[in-house]
């Protein structure tokens, strides 16, 4: 299954390799910037220009939870490999670690001087990686909410980062 999110405010799942649309989800009020399956495959998370992050149940085709707390567009989202936490990156210069079970923000990661453009969990760890328009990347410990390392060296905005 392929998952997509678009400027049309919709997410879609597609059969692979036939390309048939399996499900369509609507509920965001602005463009979708990111989407990611829960490791179990039963749910997904989306991020949007409407400044929210949403958790969706595939079987019910509906939004289970809307996470609010960013003041500007949410640029990306990621699901932790354990399935209990979601991370979001925002144009407001912060990232958030959300506890899906308690439906609350566990930490707000502050330290970038401009938009945070992407966020990604290192699988099976408590480390998250952010990239920013301030031309830096940062590693964070999600158990404490503290930055543990900063990568410098881009001349322009850093739009995405990932682990191998």
Instruction: Output helix, strand, coil percentages for the chain, rounded to the nearest 5.
Output: 0, 55, 45
Which pLDDT band, with edges at 50, 70 and 90, does 60 fall under? confident
Taking 90 as the threshold, does the pLDDT of residue 72 lie above it? yes
- 13-50 pLDDT, tens digit each: 999 999 999 999 999 999 999 999 999 999 999 999 99
For residue range 107-156, what is the model confidence (pLDDT) as tens digits?
Answer: 999 999 999 999 999 999 999 999 999 999 999 999 999 999 999 999 99
Per-domain residue ranges of the chain: 2-152
Cα–Cα distance, 156 to 152 (Å, whole number): 11
Evaluate whether 160 touches 118 at the Cβ level (below 8 Å): yes
pTM for this one? 0.95
What residues does 77 pair with on adjacent strands? Answer: 88
**Could you tell me which CATH class the domain 2-152 is placed in?**
mainly beta
């Amino acid at each position: 299954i392929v998952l997509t999110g678009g400027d049309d405010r919709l997410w879609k799942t597609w059969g692979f390799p036939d390309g048939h649309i399996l499900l369509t989800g609507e509920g965001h009020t602005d463009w979708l910037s990111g989407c990611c399956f829960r490791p179990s495959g039963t749910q997904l998370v989306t991020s949007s220009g409407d400044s929210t992050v949403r958790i969706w149940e595939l079987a019910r085709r509906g939004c289970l939870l809307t996470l609010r707390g960013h003041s500007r567009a949410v640029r990306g989202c990621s699901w932790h490999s354990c399935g209990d936490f979601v991370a979001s990156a925002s144009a407001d210069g912060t990232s958030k670690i959300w506890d899906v079970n308690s439906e609350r923000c566990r930490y707000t990661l502050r330290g970038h001087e401009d938009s945070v453009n992407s966020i990604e969990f290192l699988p099976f760890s408590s480390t998250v990686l952010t990239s920013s328009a301030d031309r830096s990347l940062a590693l964070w410990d999600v158990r404490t909410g503290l930055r543990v390392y900063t990568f410098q060296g881009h001349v322009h905005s850093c739009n995405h980062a990932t682990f191998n």
